[in-house]
Structure 1
Amino acid sequence: MNFPRIVLAGLSGGTGKTIVTLGICRALRNKGLAVKPFKKGPDYIDARWLGLAAGESASNLDPHLMPAEKLPLLMYEKGKNFDISVIEGNRGLFDGKDVEGSCSTAELARIIAAPVILAIDCTKMTRTVAAIVSGCRNFESGFNLAGVILNRTAGERHRSILRRSIEEYTDVPVLGMLPKLSKNPIPERHMGLVSNTEYARQDSSLETLGRMAEECIDLDRLTEIAGSAGSLEVPELQLWPENCVCGNERPVIGVVRDEAFWFYYDENLEALEHAGAEVRELSLLSDEDWPELHGLYLGGGFPETMADKLSANVAARKRVKSLADSGLPVFAECGGFMYLGESVEYKGQSYPMSGVLPISTKLCLKPQGLGYTCGVVEADNLFFKTGTEICGHEFHYSLCVNEQETDFSYALSLKRGKGTFLGRDGIVKDNVYAGYNHIHALGNPQWAENFVTAAEKFKNRS
């Protein structure tokens, strides 16, 4: 079947491709199209904003996080009922894990056979833009550079020279030219765009970007290019294996999802459900009672900016500690890992946390771990078999301090990445697994099955 799709890429991080993509998603939605957004790479914040712009939750696609054959399958399953799929790339078009560009946006575009639209920051640039476009067009084979959008242009004279230069020296069409904005309509902070949950003007900002896209981008030509991608070859595989490990009464796995913790891939939660769990959303900020749980999943987020509220909820802290001490399977990533420690230090003040693990964390001014990770499981735990290779990612400004390894062990030895301490990650203490590393369930299919198996055993304990 025809599967309209398009990749929005940039020359580097910070070129404005997220703002361009958000505007396009909202503008296409306003035109009455059903838009499915995707985000290339390990990114929760941009993906959340893309979902808000399109009115449909975004899915992540990345050759490092999951096997290449699952990328078109995931894209098809998530996007088949939509009019167009819009994929935002990450970093520069050809930037990947190594000098060969492994796992780059260009590689993803080849895998899913999607045309690429390149967003270019044209600040203080005129004719050189043609050389950049020509170089990108010819740098690698096997992908289709189908158009460019010129961002941060200064005025009509500037835009005229840019367009004429590209038309004179290349055959790549200019699909739009956006002006410089006096200020970013969506504020940024240490981990990128501010969380939508902490920004009251989210919809008005997205509408502003949508109107800008309508006025400055040839959306009809863009949708034509997306439609030219043609059918998508999908491997004859199952996205979710038939691996339900439970009886008739499903174990309940609680997922902490509130303003402090919301870094989750939707597919991770789907994987737990397909493995047989009932997933229930919880909050560590509210006073609401929790249901009976047989497992607990704490994802990443911004516990540091909510540290005062998290610390003040003493009942929730004690509840998590009691559940962990009772043998409940607990899996925590990054922000969730920070919450399981004794305390979080933020802006010179220390805030008590749950005390499940004998560690503390401290927010730093610079990233302490950033990028793709890869490691091998070297210690027994409930979630991964020893010898398993795990590919994931980390992005944290916090640093683990006061760690006393006498009370726990590290499960994961990283070949790539910083981890919690000296290239080690995945702290294991009895039934608890916690660390800075984030995983995607489609790249680590044993995780959900093992998690649900452990939850089922806990449910059936005598």
Structure 2
Amino acid sequence: MDLRPAPGPHHMIRIPRLVLAGLSGGSGKTIVSLGLAGAWARKGLAVAPFKKGPDYIDAAWLGLAANRPACNLDPFLMEPDAVRALFVERAKGLDLAVVEGNRGLFDGGDAKGSVATSQLARTLDAPLVLVLDATKMTRTAAAVVLGCNSFEPGFKLAGVICNRTAGDRHRSILRQTIEEYTGVPVLGMLPKLRQNPISERHMGLMSNWEQEGLEDILSGIARTVADHCDLDRLLDIARQAPDMAPATEALWPPTLPGPKPRIGYVLDAALWFYYQENLEALRRAGAELTPVSLLATDPWPELHGLYLGGGFPETQARALADNIAVREHVRALALSGAPVYAECGGFMVLCEELHAGGSIYPMAGVFPLATTLCDRPQGLGYAEAVVSAPNPFHPVGTTLRGHEFHYSRCIPRSSYTGHGDPPVMALRMERGAGMLHGMDGAVMGNTFAAYTHIHALGAPHWAVNFVRAAQAAREGAALSGLSRQGSALDPLGG
């Protein structure tokens, strides 16, 4: 796809925008991003929230704060032109966009800082505000800001927000030294909070599915940031961002001709990690999407395909195991030949067993494999794989870019789990851990499952192939139904 901006000033679009970055993970940029998005939304502004990188949980919290679904911008998973085009599509017509960075300001995939937050700010031509953890720091903070402001040629900070400040004297010295020695304006001074308003776990922030009192949490963060940051100056800086050009071509796949197949996607406390763009790409390709639950007892509608995203199935292991009817339904759907696509947590559900907390829980049993929870990450970071075996979703020879973040590992067939032949592994990992022996992407029939998450805009073939396979399943089900009907009316079918 050629997504280069169209020439000509009459095509330009005004999008006020800010990128928030920190010196490292844990600097407080998430709290500041949530607070700014929430404070402006509560003032009646239409805020477009974005998260840099592949993180699902921060993006979900940003969406709640802004009252609008958040969008992930990932320079590793998508080309720069696609990043710009997606940003413009999601933010145009709104009052401003808030982009939360990830890791440190200049931290990227190599020594040159590729795919760093600073590079994303350049791609979006967006002002960048640094969130600085000022714990036990005064004049040194100015040296840090000065270094950041001069580290990359042509890059300048639009402002600084100091976090975890200790008192009025501390804040006074910070403001005076930073502004005097660097010329970078201080736009906020957040106090130390007695505790993180959002609980954390090994995967980062705890998901909103597991938190009570969401409105109180988010309104408290918004009040704190509004009370200690200069919202008017920050908004003025966002409005000074230059206009942006739209893309010359559409981001989305073409709609396949023919009847719409119905693809279910699991959306509950067990599995909820989905990029909105993945779901939209399926819709654009011609699917009718319907949410289903692995935890509820409600009957599912007729499905011609199933998408199981990531999540935390280990937190719902007992409920998943006890819902026997749904487990059997998932297995039957896979055995029917309907396309089933699973990522990470979804893969865990499709295995025979989930080992967690000293217990073994039965799962759907599509793959003769098991997964077990570990104390340390078993796959962490960006991944790259070559498709090495046939499957309905990814052409052989394609290079996929994705990411992994899982504490579970795959257990191959053994004396206590697994039966039948082991599945084919369709992804040869060039970067990342995968499932077994440097491979990922288990395939059985039309079912594909991997620890590797992909983004539909970085793998434009995926949605079209998924919908095409679901169309075939729908046609097969219709023919099967006609055959059964004919047999019931007349043994000869006539």
TM-score by length of 1: 0.98
Secondary structure in 2 matching 1:60:
strand
Mapped pair 1:392 → 2:407? no
Tell me the distance in 1 between the aligned counterparts of 2:409 and 2:130.
Answer: 36
Matches within 5 A, 1:69-218: 69-218=81-230
Indicate conservation of the 8 Å contact 2:278/2:456, yes or no: yes
Q: Distance in 2 between matches of 1:101 and 1:191?
A: 24
Give the RMSD, CA atoms, in angstroms.
1.1
1:425 aligns with 2:440: yes
Match for residue 270 of structure 1?
A: 280
In structure 2, C-alpha distance between the alignment counterparts of 1:18 and 1:375, rounded to whole Å: 31
Q: Which amino acid aligns with 1:435?
A: A
Match of 1:456 among 471, 476, 483: 471
Structure 2 residue aligned with 1:321: 331
In 2, distance between residues paired with 1:233 and 1:130?
Answer: 36
Deviation at 1:81, TM superposition (A): 2.0
Letter in 2 for 1:177: M
User: Equivalent of 2:388, from 371, 378, 381?
Assistant: 378
Larger CA Rg, structure 1 vs 2: 2
1:284 is matched by which residue type in structure 2?
A: L
Q: Answer yes or no: is the 8 Å Cα contact 2:392–2:466 preserved in 1.
A: yes
> Moved runs in structure 1, 4+ residues, more than 3 A?
403-406
Q: Is 1:246–1:456's contact at 8 Å kept on the other side of the alignment?
A: no
- Verify: 1:259 aligned to 2:274, yes or no: no
Shift of residue 214, structure 1, vs aligned partner: 1.1
Letter in 2 for 1:217: C
The match for 1:43 among 39, 55, 61 is 55
Q: 2:79, 2:242 → 1: CA distance?
A: 23
Question: Shift of the alpha carbon at 1:167?
Answer: 1.3
Distance in structure 2 (CA, Å) of the matches to 1:39 and 1:143: 21
Shift of residue 203, structure 1, vs aligned partner: 1.0
| Deviation of the 1:218 alpha carbon | 0.2
Partners of 1:321 and 1:206 lie apart in 2 by 39
Contact 2:368–2:421 under 8 Å retained in 1: no
Secondary structure of the residue aligned to 1:24 is helix
What CA deviation, in whole Å up to 9, does each residue of 1:359-403 have, x standing for no partner? 100111111111011111011100000010100101000011134
The one of 215, 225, 244 equivalent to 1:232 is 244
5+ long unaligned stretches in structure 2: 1-12, 480-494
The residue type paired with residue 75 of structure 1 is F
| Residue 16 of structure 2 is aligned to residue 4 of structure 1 | yes
Query: Partner amino acid for 1:309?
Result: A
Q: Shift in Å at residue 142 of structure 1?
A: 3.6
1:422: Cα distance to partner?
2.6
Q: Secondary structure at the match of 1:176?
A: strand
CA deviation map 1:167-225 (0-9, x unaligned)? 12101100000000001111001111111111112110111111111110000000011
Partner Cα distance (2:155, 2:468) in 1: 42
- Deviation of the 1:144 alpha carbon: 3.6
- Structure 1 residue 412 displacement after superposition: 0.7
Contact 1:35 1:83 in 2 (8 A): yes
Q: What is the rounded CA distance, in whole Å, between the counterparts of 2:226 and 2:120 in structure 1?
A: 27
Mapped to 1, the partners of 2:169 and 2:438 lie a distance apart of 52
Partner in structure 2 of residue 63 of structure 1: 75
Question: Is 2:363 aligned against 1:348?
Answer: no
Matched with 2:482 is: none
Over residues 413-461 of structure 1, what are the superposed CA-to-partner deviations in whole Å (9 max), with x where a residue is unaligned? 1111111113211111111100100000000000000000100111112
Give matches, 1:433-444, under 5 Å.
433-444=448-459
Distance across 1 between alignment mates of 2:54 and 2:45: 27
- SS of the residue aligned with 2:314? coil
Query: Match for 1:143: what amino acid?
Result: F
1:244 to 240, 255, 270: 255
Q: Which amino acid aligns with 1:416?
A: R
Give the aligned residue type for 2:108: G
Q: Which residue of 1 aligns with 2:5?
A: none
2:105 partner letter: L
What is the DSSP-based 3-state SS (H/G/I as helix, E as strand, rest coil) of the residue aligned with 1:448? helix
Q: Is the 8 A contact 2:178 2:186 kept in 1?
A: yes
Asked whether the equivalents of residues 150 and 156 of structure 2 are also in contact (C-alpha less than 8 Å), the reply is no
Q: Secondary structure at the match of 1:305?
A: helix
CA distance in 2, matches of 1:87, 1:364: 33
State the 1:124 CA deviation. 1.1
Matched letter for residue 435 of structure 2:
T
CA distance in 2, matches of 1:290, 1:332: 18
Letter of the 1:94 counterpart: F
Question: Separation in 2 of the partners of 1:420 and 1:409?
Answer: 12
